[in-house]
Amino acid sequence: MDHYNNPRNRRNVLDKTYLKANTRNTNCIDNLDIYMKIEDNIIKDIAFTGEACAISISSASIMTTNLKDKSVSAALNYINNMDNMLNDKDYDPDVLKEAVVYVDNKNTSRKTCCWLPYQGAKDILESTKK
């Protein structure tokens, strides 16, 4: 709830050196942009903007907080754990930290709201590997 009322890292990024991905849910109206500054394989800065429901916003806030200063591979591991948690596979709660609260959403329509920012981050990180 706190992450919805006072979302961290929610700001517009105009700096063109940041990598950007738009992520949205075609079945509803959530629409987020994720920004990342990656240097030496480390996420030096990460931010998001957009309009979305409380679950997506808080999820993006927690995700960006947890991904900052992580290496690309550690970040992908974090995202992979979230994917596993939401899809009933094995995951490591220690990696996800407070993001484990979204386990309650895995069997509801809000699973996609929670996953939304992660898809954007994943798209950016995978684009750096190519």
Partner 1 sequence: MNRDDFPMLKQDIIYLDNGATSLKPQVVIDKMQEYYEKYSANAHRGDYDISYKVDMEYENARDLVTEFINAKSKEEVVFTSGATDSLNMIATGFFAGLVEAGDEILITATEHASNVLPWFRLANTHGCLVNFIPLDDNLHLTIDNLKKSISPRTKIIALAQITNVVGDVRPIKEIVRIAHENNIFVVVDAAQSIGHMKVDVQDLDVDFLAFSAHKMLGPTGTGVLYGKKELLENLDPINLGGGMNDSFDSPSEIYLKELPTRLEAGTPNIAGVIGLGAAIEYINKIGRDKIREREIQLREYLIDKLIKIPHIDIINLEADSGIVTFNVEGVFSQDVAYYLNKYNICVRAGNHCAKLTKNVTGVTNTLRISLYFYNTETEIDELVELLSDKEKIVSEMI
- Contacts with partner 1, residue ranges (CB under 8 A): 1, 4, 28-30, 51-55, 58, 110, 113
CB of 99 to partner 1, least distance (A): 14
Beta carbon of residue 114, minimum distance to partner 1 (angstroms, whole number): 11
How crowded is residue 72: how many other Cβ atoms within 10 Å of its Cβ? 19
- Bridge partner list, 34: 21, 48
Give whichever of 96 and 114 is closer to partner 1, judged by the CB atom: 114
Q: Residues near 17 by Cβ (< 8 Å), separated by ≥ 6?
A: 37
Of 19 and 99, which CB lies nearer to partner 1 in the complex structure? 99
Closer CB to partner 1, residue 2 or residue 92?
2
The residue count for the chain: 130
Query: How far is the C-alpha of 130 from the C-alpha of 117, rounded, in Å?
Result: 21
Question: Shortest gap between Cβ of 64 and partner 1 (angstroms)?
Answer: 18
